[in-house]
Structure formats: structure tokens, C-alpha cells
């Protein structure tokens, strides 16, 4: 099975459920940036509700350029803010300490292009979950792919039937489905990949 998809920031669990069984994942770097999507943001669990962390962009979110040309606005110190939020929210989870050292460099190394940061987040998560699929990137936009290739670029529906797992604020907020893969990793650790396919 081949899947074509956008390059997302720490993709949500529903995305991972769909790509984990693929033989090949094709990242579309030539598509136009779409605001209000997970192309530059990711959702985590918070003490009072879910938190949406956004990667700021040069020229803001109202731009009509190819994803591969979208630049990150690094003057805002967003990485420091994201990292502090992750530590504050997840420090007490079972596996945060297990992943902290390997994850921190993503928030210390400066990335110019959004696609580079997003690809780094996906590569990091693949390595942690031992997920293996062939990865290709395309610089040419194709509106419609032939039958047999699953197109996830415009999928916005959250997965609601995902099996429950431990969430640090579940007693307060109830179970929140389809958060960033970080939530599952910090809660389930090496067992996260099994949850995706099981």
C-alpha cells in the first residue's frame, strides 16, 4: 500500500494509524500550505484541556506558496516555549525521561524550512516506534493520484475509535483522542507502535 500525505508536525495518532501499515509513504512538498491544519501545529494534553502548539511562520499563516518554500519564523523563540510546555505537561508521564534526551535536539537545532522540521519529527517518531516504511518526497504537485494510492493530504477527521491508553490528565479531562504522537509515546513508551497496529 502506498500513501501520499502532507508533511505534518509531530503527526496525530490517527495519521500514524493510517501510515503504519504502508509499504511506501510519499510526502508532498509541492502542495500549497493550508492554514488551520496540522502542517505547522500539533495538539497535546493539558491540565485543563488540550493545548495546540503552533510553529510560527515567516509571513504568517495566510500564504499561498508550496510547502517546501514555507519558512519558520525563528525570531519568536517558539522552540523554547514548545519545549517548556512539553516538559511541564509530560514530565510525570511514565516515559518522558526515556525520550527526553533524544527529543530535545529537535527543539535546540534551528530549522529554516517547515518541511525540514516536520520531516525530522516524523523520522524521530519512526525511530522510536521502530516503524519501517519506504519514504519518498515529491517536488511536483499531483492533484489526483491513481486508484490504489491513498491520499491523506486533505483528511481532517479525527480518529475517535482509537483504543484508550493512559493519559496524564484523563481523570480531569476525560480521554482525549487523536492527540500528537508525543502523547502516546510519553504514555506507552516502546509499546506505542503496537497500539497503532493492534
What pLDDT shows up at residue 35? 86
What pLDDT shows up at residue 157? 61
Please say whether the beta carbons of 31 and 197 come within 8 A: no
Residue 42 dihedral angles phi and psi, to the nearest 5°: -150, 150
pLDDT classification of 195: cutoffs 50, 70, 90: confident
Residue 118 and residue 96: Cα distance in Å, rounded?
20
Q: What is the pLDDT of residues 92-137, one digit of tens each?
A: 999 999 999 999 999 999 999 999 999 999 999 999 999 889 999 9
Is pLDDT above 90 for 196? no
Q: Between vectors from CA 165 to CA 8 and to CA 11, what angle results, nearest 5°?
A: 0
Is pLDDT above 60 for 198? no
Packed helices 114-129 and 181-188: angle between N→C axes, nearest 10 degrees? 30
* Sequence-ordered alpha helix ranges (H) in the chain: 13-19, 78-90, 96-103, 114-129, 170-173, 181-188, 192-197
Please say whether the beta carbons of 43 and 180 come within 8 A: yes
- Cα torsion for 50, 106, 6, 180, to the nearest 10°? -20
- Cα torsion for 186, 53, 135, 111, to the nearest 10°? -110
Is pLDDT above 60 for 158? no
- Cα torsion for 169, 191, 7, 121, to the nearest 10°? 80
Considering only CA atoms, which of 122, 126, 125, 110 is closest in space to residue 27? 122
Q: How crowded is the C-beta side of 130, counted as CA atoms within 13 Å?
A: 8
Q: What is the pLDDT of residues 25-80, one digit of tens each?
A: 999 999 999 888 899 999 999 998 899 999 999 987 777 899 999 999 999 999 99
Amino acid at each position: 500500500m502506498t500513501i501520499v500525505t502532507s508533511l505534518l508536525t509531530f503527526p496525530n495518532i490517527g495519521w500514524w494509524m493510517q501510515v503504519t501499515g504502508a509499504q511506501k509513504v510519499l510526502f508532498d512538498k509541492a502542495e500549497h500550505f493550508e492554514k488551520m491544519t496540522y502542517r505547522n501545529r500539533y495538539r497535546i494534553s493539558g491540565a485543563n484541556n488540550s493545548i495546540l502548539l503552533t510553529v510560527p511562520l515567516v509571513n504568517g499563516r495566510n500564504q499561498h506558496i508550496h510547502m517546501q518554500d514555507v519558512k519558520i519564523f525563528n525570531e519568536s523563540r517558539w522552540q523554547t516555549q514548545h519545549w517548556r510546555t512539553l516538559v511541564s505537561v509530560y514530565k510525570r508521564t511514565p516515559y518522558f525521561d526515556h525520550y527526553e534526551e533524544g527529543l530535545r535536539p529537535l527543539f535546540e537545532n534551528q530549522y529554516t524550512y517547515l518541511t525540514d522540521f516536520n520531516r525530522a519529527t516524523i523520522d524521530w517518531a519512526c525511530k522510536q516506534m521502530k516503524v519501517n516504511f519506504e519514504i519518498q518526497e515529491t517536488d511536483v504537485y499531483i492533484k489526483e493520484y491513481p486508484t490504489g494510492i491513498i491520499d491523506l493530504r486533505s483528511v481532517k477527521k479525527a480518529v475517535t475509535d482509537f483504543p484508550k491508553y493512559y493519559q496524564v490528565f484523563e481523570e480531569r479531562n476525560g480521554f482525549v483522542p487523536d492527540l500528537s504522537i508525543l502523547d502516546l509515546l510519553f504514555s506507552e513508551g516502546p509499546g506505542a507502535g503496537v497500539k497503532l497496529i493492534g
